[in-house]
Amino acid sequence: MLKHGDTCPVCGQGPVEEKVVNEPFKYKGREYVIPDYHIFACGVCKEELVSHESLKTSEKTLTDFRRKIDGLLTSDEIKAIRKRLGKTQKKLAEMLDVGEKTFARYENGQVTQSKIMDLFLRGLEVYPDLLDSIKFGKQAGNDYEYETVDAQFMPAIKRSNDEIQYQIEKDEQADSVHKDDACAAIAA
């Protein structure tokens, strides 16, 4: 790990200076600024390296920033759904047929869930009994048998998806209005 005054690992000549900055991140036209972001800057080659601590602490924040823009549940929302269901990470991962570590990574922001997993989790939030409608782990030979999801749950999952899409479109329209207002003000 780098520290203030160490030799730059890129050029091998200059000492690095630790700086604390407000670092902007952009995703799909939106920006999020992380305050107190620690970097090491080389005065010789001008390279900037991010501290290990800043990378680690910002990972969940940036993943959730992208999830919100994409209309997906954040890591805290996924964790809250699991807790309301009264399941451990291990048990819910098993029931959803994903690895325990994968599910843990959804909750700690290391991995972003797929849209279909997101919709299913939203369905569980509305209809917690959905888990009871699916038989998991009933082994038949080398394969697992699954009952189909009851048709009554599919409209709720679709409705959640429609609400997400509506919010994304609404946000995009609001951004467009702000840009048009700014252009009009500049032109005047």
H or E element, residue 123: helix 115-126
Q: Supply 50's token pair.
A: 């991010």
Predicted confidence (pLDDT) per residue in 28-39, tens digit: 999 999 999 999
What is the model's pLDDT at position 143?
46
Amino acid code (one letter) for 153: F
Question: In order of start, what are the domains of the chain with their CATH numbers?
Answer: 16-70 (3.10.20.860), 75-187 (1.10.260.40)
pTM summary value: 0.67
Angstrom CA distances, 125 to 77, 84, 85, stand at 10, 8, 8
Sign of the CA dihedral running 177, 180, 186, 188: negative
Grouped pLDDT means (10 residues each) for the chain, 188 residues: 92 95 96 95 95 91 96 97 94 88 96 94 87 52 44 54 64 62 51
Predicted confidence (pLDDT) per residue in 28-73, tens digit: 999 999 999 999 999 999 999 999 999 988 999 999 999 999 999 9
Q: Supply 49's token pair.
A: 């390296």
